Structure 1
Amino acid sequence: MRTPLTELTGVEHPIVQTGMGWVAGPRLVSATANAGALGLLASATMSIQELEAAILEVRGRTDRPFGVNLRADAGDAGERVELLIRHEVKVASFALAPKPELIARLKEHGIVVMPSVGAARHAEKVAAWGADLVMVQGGEGGGHTGSVPTTLLLPSVLDAVDIPVLAGGGFFDGRGLAAALSYGAAGIGMGTRFLLTSDSAVPDAIKHRYLTFGLDGTVVTTKADGMPHRLLRTDFVEGLEHTGRLRQVGATARRTLAFKRMSGMSWPALLADGRRMRKASDRGWAQVLQAANTPMLLKAGLVDGDTEAGMLASGQVVGLLDDLPSCEELIDRVVRDAVERLTGARRALLTGQDSKLS
């Protein structure tokens, strides 16, 4: 199954494991790569030293292409780009639009640039700046998300740009891959489905808890960091929704201090990072101050396994999942099912044409 995604990146299958903070580490990324898909390391929760160690660990586990997801508005984005160049990482993905000079620098060294977008106008902007392809994420997706469903966002972006487009948000099986390819996409991105694999480092107890939620088991809230965030509807998240402003300010301050200690950032660096985030995403200062909540709240749930003090990002597809396959098993069945469905659709179409001719 060859598409512009496989041609650009050198992977075997048109499937991307997205860069989920605290989830997409070396173990999951290398398992994805070894299974023939594109794994993305999530670097936003890593220091630059931790990122280099993670890249080297992936290199030790696989000889296949992989990528790194970067924060375009991070103060050390330029240093991280140089790190990718030095280690010849194949793909650089971005949650926000990277500056034109970053795109140019990466492309000088043959690194594929893949920003994520939530609107056609964003895709047009990064395409004009030289991005190689874009990934859309519909409102069904987990974590930070928009309100437009994939079935509407995907065709609007496909119509707006000439570069390849990947579809994210609501994908978990071969039917979704076949549908995305039929729309004209170059492949799909999956987050929650990869989180819920045996290769994911998320604690098993947390994975099994994910599997208990139905299609109504997620909620989009702005109470975590001021931006729309799709999470599992746990007691903790329900509590966030009803937390008063005064208590919220206190909790935000505590978590900001914890994030500062974890990241090793100085106060001037943390404030400078906040100013860049505010400028890049048009957030108010209250939202920027809340943004430090996200890494700590996600770490509590996804790493420490404490759902009483942490949150669990999830796409709506969680309600359709009931197992924890390996990445190899997952990718094999997704591709096999997609091929069968596309072949069956072609056969049905040809049969219909033959019956009309007769």
Structure 2
Amino acid sequence: MLKTDLCDLLNIKFPIIQGGMAWVATAELAQAVSNAGGLGVIGCGNAPADVIKEEIRKIKKKTDKPFGVNVMLLSPHVDEIMDMLYEEKVPVITTGAGNPGKYIDRFKGIGTKVIPVVPSVALAKRMEKVGADAVIVEGTEAGGHVGELTTFVLVPQIVDAVNIPVIAAGGIADGRGIVSALSLGAKGVQMGTRFVCSTECIAHENYKNMITKAKDRDAVVTGRKTGHPVRSLKNKFTREFLKLEKKTDDKKELEEFGVGSLKKAAIEGDHRYGSVMAGQVSGLIKDIKSCESIINDIVKEANIVKESLTKI
């Protein structure tokens, strides 16, 4: 009942993609999402190719379903990673922080789908021209690196501007969010914060608990002066970062302040002095459960919402 063109494009049961979050989007999480009918995604972050290759080998042992790998194009290892992904014949590649155009033709030759994350209409149109199979339209509600426009405003504008499938991301964590995205013309959704709060995600329990206890105004943005703003949950780290931004325009100093902060929170569990990257939708998430339960509950709710709308 909840099927779109994206399901056919990616050979998945439900039009739900898991965000490729650095440090926490490992093979454990990705295989659980893929086995539950969505598209699980391994996040590269700044990891070298051999580390990601090991994660790919792990997921291939745990599922025969399609999966993806998210590549940050600003990574110093990006060319090595792309070569490795070609060799491994990864079914889907999502990209962020750049233009994957120079890699697309090569991957089309082996049937790999390339789906860039875009924060604007102009970039979405450019990605269509260079051959992207779809685009992930991420609004400022999302966790991690964000743009300025909201999902609700941006998605329909990009739907009107391109002829490839649009995937909505940012501020989506339940069936109501999916139905809203589909009503705007999207063919599917990408969710990150919701899947952090799953039993299969390796994120530290302190990180997960910060999300489930968050309120509506707890997700704030730091690093605007660096040109790479980040949304995370309020804590000692964000307060100190915002104070520093008021005092200095030195991008290097600001960037150095944030180095290693995500790992500190997600892996080491330092929820006070680490960067707890999470979206505004954190205030809606109140539990930690399996990826299968998350997806099944979302699909069930989405179908109920769709049915109720037909009666209006």
Q: Return the TM-score normalized by structure 2.
A: 0.94
What's the CA shift for 1:308? 3.5
Q: Identity, % of aligned pairs?
A: 33
SS in 2 for 1:163: coil
Deviation at 1:241, TM superposition (A): 1.1
Q: CA deviation at 1:44?
A: 1.6
Task: Call closer, same or farther: CA 1:102–1:291 in 2, change over 3 Å.
Answer: farther
Q: CA deviation digits over 1:224-273, x for unaligned, max 9?
A: 95521111011221111113789x89xxxxxxxxxxxxxxxxxxxxxxxx
Report how far residue 50 of structure 1 moved: 0.3
- The count of corresponding residues between Structure 1 and Structure 2 is 311
Q: Please identify runs of 4+ aligned residues in structure 1 that moved more than 6 A.
A: none
Contact 2:33 / 2:40 at 8 angstroms: preserved in 1? yes
1:236 paired residue number: 237
- For 1:15-72, what per-residue CA distance to the aligned partner results, in whole angstroms no more than 9, with x for missing partners? 0110111110111111111101011111123211100001001111111110000022
Gap runs ≥5 in structure 2: none
Matched, 1:144 2:145: yes
Matches of 2:211 and 2:197 in 1, distance apart? Answer: 8
Q: Distance in 2 between matches of 1:39 and 1:294?
A: 28
Q: Secondary structure at the match of 1:147?
A: coil
Aligned counterpart, 1:343: 307
> Which amino acid in 1 is paired with 2:207?
I
Residue 244 of structure 2 aligns to which amino acid in structure 1?
A: T
**1:75, distance to aligned residue in structure 2 (A):** 4.0
Secondary structure of the corresponding residue to residue 158 of structure 1: helix
Give 1:197 shift.
1.2
Tell me, yes or no, if structure 1 residue 327 matches structure 2 residue 305.
no
Distance 1:289 1:24 in 2: 28
TM-aligned CA deviation for residue 112 of structure 1: 0.3
Q: Counterparts of 1:71 and 1:206 in 2: how far apart (Å)?
A: 23
The answer to whether 1:300 aligns with 2:301 is no
Contact 1:81 1:106 in 2 (8 A): no
Which residue in 2 is equivalent to 1:38?
Answer: 39
The equivalent of 1:352 in structure 2 is none
Distance 2:75 2:209 in 1: 34
Q: Which runs of 5+ in 1 are unaligned?
A: 250-285, 350-358
Map 1:1-150; keep pairs closer than 5 Å. 1-150=2-151
Superimposed CA distance per residue, residues 132-151 of structure 1 (whole angstroms, 9 cap, x where no aligned partner): 00001111111111121111
Counterpart residue identity of residue 209, structure 2: H
Greater helix share, structure number? 1
- Aligned residues of 2:206 and 2:270 also touching (Cα < 8 A): no
Q: How many angstroms does 1:81 deviate by?
A: 1.7
Q: In 1, Cα distance between the equivalents of 2:258 and 2:237?
A: 14
* C-alpha contact 2:225 2:245 (8 A) present in aligned 1: no
Bigger Rg, structure 1 or 2: 1
Structure 1 residues 294 and 10 mapped into 2: Cα distance closer, same or farther (>3 Å)?
Answer: farther
Any conservation in 2 of the 1:21–1:295 contact (CA below 8 Å)? no
User: TM-score, with normalisation over the residues of structure 1?
Assistant: 0.82
Deviation at 1:290, TM superposition (A): 5.1
CA distance in 2, matches of 1:225, 1:298: 17
Measure, in 2, the Cα distance between the counterparts of 1:205 and 1:94: 28
Deviation at 1:206, TM superposition (A): 2.4
Q: CA RMSD in A?
A: 2.0
Structure 1 CA distance, aligned partners of 2:74 and 2:193? 25
- Determine the C-alpha separation between the residues in 1 that align with 2:307 and 2:94: 32
SS of the aligned residue for 2:220 comes to strand
After TM superposition, give the deviation of residue 73 of structure 1 in Å.
3.3
